[in-house]
Amino acid sequence: MTLYAEWEINTYSITYNLNGGSLDNAVTTFTINDLPLDLQIPTGETDNLSFVKWTTDEGGNNEIKVIERKEENLKDFSLYAFYEDSANFLTYKYNSEIEGYEVTGYTGSAIKVIIPKQYKGTEIRSIKNGAFYDCNTLEYIILQKNIISIGEGAFELCTALKEISIPDSVVNIGHSAFCRCLNLKSIKLSDNIVYDLNTNDLASSESLGFNLSVLISGNSSSIVYLIPLLSFESIFTPSLSISYSE
């Protein structure tokens, strides 16, 4: 008699303890073939709550971002979401010219930050120059539809930043707003426009050895300007303009 062994790949589960937050289309099972697995980013219960980290214990000590392809990770996981209240880490200044507050700085360590709609009952209308400069934990930033301007160097050196959505309300974005955001992959200009930075379609920037960057300025005449992400602040070269419509 000849016997034949039959094998099946083990499946493991992921349980999310969201602490009041939400997570759309969460991955709840995986096999070794799915690894490494990047963990999804949840949304806090309110706009003021910004996601900081996943941990594998309730005390928040063992942070995890990726389930790596390792033998010790072939098991079921229970993950715990931790948030911070952005109100405790964002700083503001009232600007009478725009009749609202500007975000002037950020001292937190969240991965995903949602800019609140209001501060002290008044709209937040602008991200000031250098407000998020060198925030190296920031991967995602959500701007509300009352934001009208993003200042010079507002997100410069946010080296972990992967994605940002620019609301239609924004009419001005300053010089070097996203300079040296080396991991930035997409800029969402509206529901139907996404610019993918991995395409390397700006020959001029590629030949100079620079990575591509993002939307730098938009205005009421519906023109969007894209420029290279320059390694040196002193170089600023508008490379491409495209038409944009609602």
Between 217 and 77, the higher pLDDT residue: 77
Answer whether residue 214 shows pLDDT above 60. Answer: no
Instruction: Give CA 138 to chain center in angstroms.
Output: 6
Mean pLDDT score, 137-150: 90
Residue 156 banded pLDDT, cuts 50, 70, 90? confident
Q: What is the pLDDT of residue 246?
A: 39
Least confident of 19-28, 102-111, 172-181, 208-217: 208-217
Which has the closest alpha carbon to 228: 189, 184, 190, 194? 184
Lookup: tokens for 123:
């709209």
Which has the closest alpha carbon to 94: 85, 106, 103? 103
Q: What is the pLDDT of residue 43?
A: 87
Distance CA 103, CA 130 (A): 10
Answer whether residue 33 shows pLDDT above 70. Answer: yes
| Farthest-apart Cα atoms in the chain, separation | 89
For Cα atoms 30, 80, 34, give the angle at the middle one, nearest 5 degrees: 15
Between 121 and 226, the higher pLDDT residue: 121
Query: Is the backbone peptide bond immediately before 116 cis, with ω within 30 degrees of 0?
Result: no
Answer whether residue 193 shows pLDDT above 90. Answer: no
Answer whether residue 208 shows pLDDT above 60. Answer: no
Residue 157 banded pLDDT, cuts 50, 70, 90? confident
